[in-house]
Amino acid sequence: MLESEELAKKLKALAHPLRLKIVALLAEEGEDLYLNEIANKLGINRALAKIHLKKLENAGIVKSRVVLIEGEARALRYYKLLDFDIHISPELLKRRGKEDWTIEP
């Protein structure tokens, strides 16, 4: 079970429709995708994709890795969906209700 702060951080990261689309895309593809592939498949620009992927990475939902292209002096950043499971119920909220649910921005 996720701790309150970690749960809130993941929920905050997932609380945007585009980030949910990114997670769904990575889950559907089942493999690491390059930043431009993600942007192209979602019909958004690379800068916007990078911003949202960084938020997902900071929340521990995706992980990135850099692949250096030999002879081209270029690096490609690939993203992989990490395994996570979120369950929320009234009982959980009741048990955790007295805790501080805030997280730093």
pLDDT the model gives residue 103: 45
Please check whether residue 61 lies inside any domain of the structure.
yes
DSSP-H helix ranges across 17-99: 17-29, 35-42, 46-58, 90-96
* Residue 63: Cβ within 10 Å count: 13
How many whole angstroms separate alpha carbon 27 and alpha carbon 62?
A: 11
Extract the residue ranges of the chain whose pLDDT is less than 70.
1-2, 96-105
> Is 102 contained in some domain?
no
Domain membership of residue 103 (yes or no) is no
Q: How far apart are CA 32 and CA 77, in angstroms?
A: 10
CATH number for the domain that contains residue 37: 1.10.10.10
Q: How far apart are CA 2 and CA 95, in angstroms?
A: 13
Structural domain harbouring 84: 4-95
Q: How many domains does the chain have?
A: 1
pLDDT recorded at residue 1: 47
